[in-house]
Amino acid sequence: MLGSTSRYRRELLTRLRIPFSVTAPDVDETPAPGESPRELALRLALAKAKAVAALHPEAVVIGSDQVADLAGQPLGKPGEHDRAVQQLRQMRGQTVIFQTALAVVCLATNFEQVDLAEVKVVFRDLSDDEIENYLQAEKPYDCAGSAKSEGLGIALLESIDNDDPTALVGLPLIRTARLLRQAGVKLL
C-alpha cells in the first residue's frame, strides 16, 4: 500500500509490478523548529507510513517524503508560481541536496524501517527568463524545490549525483525494493 498523494510516487511504484492501493495520509507537514531538511524528510516519511498503517494494520505500507535542502534550509513544494520563481532564484548556481526519505511499515508483523537517498544536484546559473520559461512550460508547483528533472527541468541542471536513479523523482526504488523484500514482499 502506498501512503501518498503524489502521482509521481504512484507512477514509480508501478515499475515494481506489484499490486498496491493508495491511501492519502493525514499528516501535518509543517517543519518543527530547528528541524533539518534531512530530519524533516525522515520524520514525514515515517509519519505517513504509520498514519496509513493505522488504518490498514495488515498491509505493508510505503511512506515517502522529499525535501530540497539548500544550505540547511528546507524548500518544500512551492504551491504557486511566485514562490516557485523565488525558489529557483535561490537555487541558481547552487548545490542542492534533495533528501528523499522512505519508510516501510507493517503493524501486523511489527516491521518498521526507514532509509534516505540524498541526491546532490547542481543548478545552472539560471537567468530570470529561463526560470519563467521553465515554470510556464512545466508548472512544477507540486514538486519540492520547483524542479522536475524527469521533464524540461533537466535543462536547469549542471549535474545530478546519486546512487538511486528514481530518488530525485520522489521514490528511491532501489531502496524501496530492498525494504519491501525485508518486509516479506516478493518482487520477482
- Taking the C-alpha atoms of residue 40 and residue 152, their distance in angstroms, rounded to an integer, is 28
How far does the chain reach from its first CA to its final CA, in angstroms?
18
pLDDT value at residue 166 = 95
Tell which residue, 77, 70, 81, 21, has the closest CA to residue 44.
77
pLDDT value at residue 40 = 96
pLDDT digits (tens, 9 = 90+) for 122-134: 999 999 999 999 9
pLDDT value at residue 76 = 86
pLDDT digits (tens, 9 = 90+) for 37-69: 999 999 999 999 999 999 999 999 999 999 999
Residues of the chain with pLDDT under 70: none
Dihedral angle sign, alpha carbons of residues 30, 143, 37, 174 = positive
pLDDT value at residue 114 = 98
Judge whether 65 counts as a catalytic residue: yes
pTM for this model (two decimals): 0.91
Enclosing H/E stretch for 100: strand 95-106
Residue 62, phi then psi, degrees to nearest 5: -105, 130
Q: Are 116 and 38 in contact (CB under 8 A)?
A: yes
Q: Residue with C-alpha cell 534533495? A: 98
pLDDT value at residue 41 = 96
* Catalytic member of 65, 69, 115, 164: 65
Domains, in order of start, for the chain = 2-182 (3.90.950.10)
Residues 16/146/104/2 CA torsion (nearest 10 deg): -60
